[in-house]
Structure 1
Amino acid sequence: MSIVITGASGRLGRLIIKELLHHVQPDQIVACVRQMDSAAALEEQGIAVRFCDYDDPASLKEAFAGASRLLFISSPHPDDTVRLRQHAHVVEAAKKANVSHILYTGFAFPEHSDMSMTHLHLATEHAIRTTGIPYTFLRSGLYMDFIEALDLQAAMSTGHLRVHPGSWQFNAVTRTDLAAAIAGVLSGEGHSNKTYELVAPSVWTFNDLVSSLSELTGTPISLCLTNEVQHWIFSFLRKIDTSSTSGDLENLLGRPPASLKASLQSYIGEVRSN
């Protein structure tokens, strides 16, 4: 079995490969990257590294050659028009390379969202379906990293977490849990033509956040609802589905995903060490 992974030098790609090495041998993995010098550590582990540029269709066909399973990590390009073209290149190259199975990392519950990014993911899934190649759609939930935009350091210093008013609920998950689940699917069986919503099985609120922060820091922190907070993250969060839940991630992991408190503990440790 040859597992080819695009975007292998990115944050999620590296975590997936780290988890995948618990399931398969290094010589079964092909890491596709745009900057070859970024993958030296992967080569040192015995993983084959191939050049792969979403804007260069010829490089894609060569990179995907012999793939039993292709993990297509969506493009990070900020322009969705460019991303759509890049995704079309990947899908077409997968067909030409006779890839046996395409696994695509989209966004959770895109049908419930209203922004160009989620429309792009739906369009890419449709394109993959039309190839006739067996597929698995790995729809990732909101990364827990988004809490960094809330300036928790200021909240811990002042005792107040300032957020926009609203009925906020979050199904966010850690990249580590996503990587573990995706690695299990990549190396396992029985996932053909399935769609997984990789979100938390239950939601948390900003009240839960300040409660956990207070407990972890030993300092009372209160929630301050105000329209004075100026940050793009709140506009983004209003346009996507952050409240729907699913048991898919927990089932694939075979355990509960990391809790809010556990995720915060790691984040607070990083803040204090800097």
Structure 2
Amino acid sequence: MSIVITGASGRLGRFIIKELLHHVQPDQIVACVRQMESAASLEEQGIAVRFCNYDEPASLKEAFAGASRLLFISSPHPDDTVRLRQHAHVIEAAKKANVGHILYTGFAFPEHSDISMTHLHLATEHAIRTTGIPYTFLRSGLYMDFIEALDLHAAISTGNLRVHPGSWQFNAVTRSDLAAAIAGVLSVEGHSNKTYELVAPAVWSFDNVVSTLSELTGKPISLCPINEVQHWIFSFLRKIDTASTSGDLEHLLGRPVTPLIESLRSYIGASQI
């Protein structure tokens, strides 16, 4: 079995490879990267590294050669028109390389959102289905990383977590949980033509954040919704589905997702506790 992973030098890609090494041998993994020098540490582990650029179709067919499973990590390009073209290149190359199975990292509950990013993921999924190649759609939830925009250190210092007003609920998950679940899917049979919504099984709110911060720090912290908070993240969050839940992630993990208290502990650091 040869598992080919695109975007292998990115944050999610590296997390997935780290988890995948618990399931398969290094010589079963092929890491595809745009900058070969960025993957030196992967080569040192016995992982094959191949050049792969979504804008260069010729590089893709060579990178995907012999792939029994291709993990297609979606492009990070900020322009969704460019991303759609890049994704088309990947899918066409997968067909030409006779890839045995395509696994694609999209976005959770795209049908519930109305922004170009989610339209892109739906279009990519449709294009993959038309190839006739067995597929698995790994629809990743909102990364817990978004919480960095809230400036938790300022909240701890002032005793107030400032947010834009709203009935906010979140199904966000950690990259490490996503990586562990995806690695598990990559390493076994039984996931052909399935779609997984990789989100938390229960939502949490900003009220949960302040109570958890208070518990971690021993300081009273209050939620402070004010209209003056105009960070772009709140506009983005309103346009996507952050409240729908699914048990898919916990099922694939075979354990509970990382609890909110552990996620917050990692963001605020030991010096704040």
TM-score by structure 2 length? Answer: 0.99
Q: What corresponds to 2:241 in structure 1? A: 241
Answer yes or no: is the 8 Å Cα contact 2:19–2:179 preserved in 1. Answer: yes
Q: What corresponds to 2:54 in structure 1? A: 54
Aligned-pair CA distance for 1:188: 1.1
The 4+ residue runs of structure 1 with deviation greater than 3 A are: 270-273
Name the CA distance, whole Å, in 2 between partners of 1:198 and 1:256.
Answer: 12
Name the CA distance, whole Å, in 2 between partners of 1:208 and 1:253.
Answer: 24
Matched, 1:170 2:183: no
Q: What corresponds to 1:161 in structure 2? A: 161
Q: What corresponds to 1:151 in structure 2? A: 151
Aligned-pair CA distance for 1:271: 6.9
Q: What corresponds to 1:139 in structure 2? A: 139
Q: What corresponds to 1:43 in structure 2? A: 43
Q: What corresponds to 1:181 in structure 2? A: 181
Aligned-pair CA distance for 1:78: 0.2
Name the CA distance, whole Å, in 1 between partners of 2:271 and 2:185.
Answer: 33
Matched, 1:251 2:251: yes
What secondary structure does 1:190 align onto?
coil
What secondary structure does 1:49 align onto?
strand
User: 1:76-115 to 2 correspondence within 5 Å?
Assistant: 76-115=76-115
Q: What corresponds to 2:218 in structure 1? A: 218
Name the CA distance, whole Å, in 1 between partners of 2:138 and 2:80.
Answer: 19
What secondary structure does 2:161 align onto?
strand
Aligned-pair CA distance for 1:272: 4.8
Identical amino acids, percent of aligned pairs: 88
Aligned-pair CA distance for 1:267: 1.2
Aligned-pair CA distance for 1:230: 1.9
Answer yes or no: is the 8 Å Cα contact 1:153–1:271 preserved in 2. Answer: no
Deviations 1:117-149 (A, max 9, x none): 000000000000000000000000000000000
What secondary structure does 1:37 align onto?
helix
Letter in 1 for 2:146: F
Name the CA distance, whole Å, in 2 between partners of 1:219 and 1:230.
Answer: 26
Name the CA distance, whole Å, in 2 between partners of 1:182 and 1:82.
Answer: 26
Say if 1:271 and 1:75 are closer, same or farther in 2 by CA, change over 3 A. farther
Letter in 1 for 2:162: R
Name the CA distance, whole Å, in 2 between partners of 1:94 and 1:141.
Answer: 25
Letter in 2 for 1:254: G
Aligned-pair CA distance for 1:262: 1.1
Name the CA distance, whole Å, in 1 between partners of 2:155 and 2:144.
Answer: 17
Q: What corresponds to 1:8 in structure 2? A: 8
What secondary structure does 2:269 align onto?
helix
Name the CA distance, whole Å, in 1 between partners of 2:242 and 2:253.
Answer: 21
Letter in 1 for 2:42: L
Name the CA distance, whole Å, in 2 between partners of 1:49 and 1:124.
Answer: 25
Aligned-pair CA distance for 1:270: 6.5
Name the CA distance, whole Å, in 2 between partners of 1:5 and 1:210.
Answer: 38
Deviations 1:174-198 (A, max 9, x none): 0000000000000011000000000
Name the CA distance, whole Å, in 1 between partners of 2:22 and 2:225.
Answer: 44
Q: What corresponds to 2:262 in structure 1? A: 262
Name the CA distance, whole Å, in 1 between partners of 2:271 and 2:51.
Answer: 36
Aligned-pair CA distance for 1:164: 0.7
Aligned-pair CA distance for 1:173: 0.2
Q: Where do 5+ consecutive residues of structure 1 fail to align?
A: none
Aligned-pair CA distance for 1:242: 0.2
Deviations 1:186-226 (A, max 9, x none): 00110000000000000000000000000001110000011
TM-score by structure 1 length? Answer: 0.98
Answer yes or no: is the 8 Å Cα contact 2:217–2:272 preserved in 1. Answer: no
Name the CA distance, whole Å, in 1 between partners of 2:191 and 2:253.
Answer: 14
Answer yes or no: is the 8 Å Cα contact 2:181–2:249 preserved in 1. Answer: yes
Q: What corresponds to 1:200 in structure 2? A: 200
Say if 1:270 and 1:91 are closer, same or farther in 2 by CA, change over 3 A. farther
Q: What corresponds to 2:24 in structure 1? A: 24
Letter in 1 for 2:4: V
Answer yes or no: is the 8 Å Cα contact 1:200–1:257 preserved in 2. Answer: yes
Aligned-pair CA distance for 1:171: 0.3
Letter in 2 for 1:48: A
